[in-house]
Amino acid sequence: MNNSLLHYQIIGEGAPIVFLHGFLEDSSMWEDVKTAFPKHQLLLIDLPGHGESPSYNLEAYSMKFMAEKVDEIIKDRKIENPIVIGHSMGGYVGLELLKIRSLRRLILFNSNFWEDSEERIQNRNRVIEVVQKNKLVFLNEAIRNLFYVENDFTSRTIQDLIQKAKEINELDIIKSTKGLRDRLNNKEIVSTYSEKICVVQAENDPIIPSEYMEDALNQLTKKPKFYMIENSGHMSVWENLKATRRILTEIVS
């Protein structure tokens, strides 16, 4: 089963862009973003255990493992030098992909490049315990906490995302959580490939606070390009779609 390809969709023709979603999401998150790139070939992938992709018989889904599964599709489709847009966990996967293949550009979209703190590791371990007992309790809290402001629109979106996430097997949530918890510090990679990497930060991201990102960027020997999405939490695709489309198209062009 570990040899099974991930589920993916290819749209259009032109210079290739690979879209990688985040934790508890799937490739449908790009529905209102993909139309901004009519002159590109788009590869939309469901990461392991998410969306329509299979589960794998592993203790954890490391970011490296996910990147290798993504690379299998890129090789299979004979795609050369793609742009990769990775949201949150998808950005971590993109950083591992950059270590094994040439990318034209990597966009870390509401993502980061450092390892979990001790406090965050403990939180991940608590997530594993909660999911084992009651997945729905975890999903209700976790997805709601990704948004900056809850209004009529975001409330509906939150409920839609919870319904989709309910389809993810408990074991796949746990395996992905372990992969997130154990991921590597990639500050050196970001410095080394700073000319290829762009960081897109949400102004009010509760998961990756702006001040954390600012401090981390200041520690780098070479800094990637930086863009800010205003009036948005972690889920900019829904919270500020207009700015998301504008910034991503600006980077890609």
DSSP characters for the chain? -TTPPPPEEEE--SEEEEEE--TT--GGGGTTTGGG-TTEEEEEEPPTTSTTPPP-SSS---HHHHHHHHHHHHHHTT--S-EEEEETHHHHHHHHHHTTS--SEEEEES--SSPPPHHHHHHHHHHHHHHHH-HHHHHHHHHHTT-S---HHHHHHHHHHHHHHTTS-HHHHHHHHHHHHTPPP-HHHHHHTTTTEEEEEETT-SSS-HHHHHHHHHT-SSPPEEEEESS--S-HHHHSHHHHHHHHHHHH-
Give the pLDDT confidence score for residue 151 in this predicted structure. Answer: 86
Q: Specify whether the CB–CB gap between 160 and 23 falls below 8 A.
A: no
Give the pLDDT confidence score for residue 1 in this predicted structure. Answer: 54
How is domain 8-252 classified at the architecture level of CATH?
Answer: 3-Layer(aba) Sandwich (3.40)
pTM exceeding the 0.85 threshold for the entire prediction: yes
Q: What are phi and psi of 168, to 5 degrees?
A: -80, 130
Series of mean pLDDT values for 10-residue runs along the chain (253 residues) = 86 98 98 98 99 97 99 97 99 99 98 98 98 97 94 93 98 99 98 98 97 97 97 97 98 95
Give the pLDDT confidence score for residue 2 in this predicted structure. Answer: 65
Q: Specify whether the CB–CB gap between 89 and 180 falls below 8 A.
A: yes
